Copies of this chain bind each other. A is one copy, B any other.
Amino acid sequence: MDNVAGFPVELGYSSAVAEIVRLALAEDIGRGDITTEATVAADAMAKAVIVQKQPGVLCGMPLARLVFAALDPRVQIEPVIEEGSWGDKREVARLTGPARAILTGERTALNFIQRMSGVATMARRAAVLVEGTGAIVLDTRKTTPGHRALEKYAVRVGGHGHVRNHRAGLDDAVLIKDNHIRAAGGIAAAIEGARKRVGPAQRIEVEVTNPFELEEALRAGAEMVLLDNHTLEGLQAAVQQAAGRAKLEASGGITLDNLADVARTGVDYVSLGALTHSAGSIDFSLEVM
């Protein structure tokens, strides 16, 4: 890619991505990389490799490109394997360019890659668990502040279509919870208010806690229903009760241990906050040749 405009084409030209890169570089570099400035000539060139040191899904190379491009557009990054590949203990990319930029950007680039690969890896594990069940795993808004776009992208990279993104924010889908229902004066009023507020492309989702509320939501025209903290039996009963009148989403207390069981209850979606709040990180290093 020769695009040095700072908008990441792989991530849909989102300016939020450019901003977190800028912020990350600013916080690490501050007033300047004094060690590098004092020891490395301004015109020295270098070669380096990025090495994956633990098993997992590679994710985040577009961020590495943005980090180095922000410092010096002359840094070239050649991928050895593709974004989204699973691997362990191997070179994933080769870099050439000004030595100062490579040394200064190293830690920030790795900090992005190791976290995004952690999320993609967990998404891959979840994908395997639900394959064949017909259920789709969804991520949540429990993301790292400022990293929403990156983590949702990592979920897609690792999820292979079995793990997908739920809403990106408070503005691109309606999810009516109990506080909203109380404030609006009931489920029907809340749904009607939302219907006028949002575009025709948005389905409206309502959270329910028991069969009575489920019935009320379905009759009021809810197109998706969130079943929070239900037992497996409760989920199965809800699937039967809804009988296809709306899409059903299970959430709350779900981990990789019980994910497959939840998926087999017949719900359409299982949302898994742990994908982004507890994914851990995969170790990578950058080695100058």
A28 touches B69 (CB 8 A): no
Give A275 Cβ to nearest chain B Cβ, in Å.
12
B169 touches A70 (CB 8 A): no
A73, B14: Cα distance in complex, Å: 16
A44-B183, A196-B38, A200-B138 known; A30 vs B31 contact (CB < 8 Å):
yes
B39 touches A190 (CB 8 A): yes
A41, B190: Cα distance in complex, Å: 12
Residues of chain A from 155 to 189 with CB closer than 8 A to chain B in the complex: 156, 161, 164-177, 179-181, 183-184, 189
0/1 string, A84-117, CB within 8 A of B gives 1: 0000000000000011110110011011101100
- The residues of B that contact A28 with a CB separation of less than 8 Å are 141, 148, 169-170
Q: Which of A4-12, A212-220, A234-242 contacts B (4 or more CB under 8 A)?
A: A4-12
- The residues of B that contact A34 with a CB separation of less than 8 Å are 12, 170-171, 174, 194, 197-198
A180 touches B13 (CB 8 A): no
Give A179 Cβ to nearest chain B Cβ, in Å.
5
CB of A149 closer than 8 Å to a CB of B = yes
- The residues of B that contact A21 with a CB separation of less than 8 Å are 145
CB-based nearest B residue for A280 = B278
B199 touches A169 (CB 8 A): no
B200 touches A247 (CB 8 A): yes
A55, B205: Cα distance in complex, Å: 32
CB of A81 closer than 8 Å to a CB of B = no
Contact size class for A? Answer: 35 or more
Instruction: Report how many copies the assembly holds.
Output: 6
CB of A232 closer than 8 Å to a CB of B = no
A169 touches B136 (CB 8 A): no
Give A63 Cβ to nearest chain B Cβ, in Å.
8
A30-B31, A39-B194 known; A7 vs B200 contact (CB < 8 Å):
no
B39 touches A13 (CB 8 A): no
A42 touches B278 (CB 8 A): no
Residues of chain A from 240 to 270 with CB closer than 8 A to chain B in the complex: 247, 249, 268-269
B38 touches A14 (CB 8 A): no
A171 touches B32 (CB 8 A): yes
A146 touches B24 (CB 8 A): yes
Give A85 Cβ to nearest chain B Cβ, in Å.
17
Give A216 Cβ to nearest chain B Cβ, in Å.
15
CB-based nearest B residue for A62 = B42
B201 touches A277 (CB 8 A): no
CB-based nearest B residue for A142 = B111
B107 touches A142 (CB 8 A): yes
CB-based nearest B residue for A28 = B169
Give the top 5 A-B pairs by smallest Cβ distance, nearest first.
A12-B32, A24-B145, A173-B201, A30-B171, A33-B170
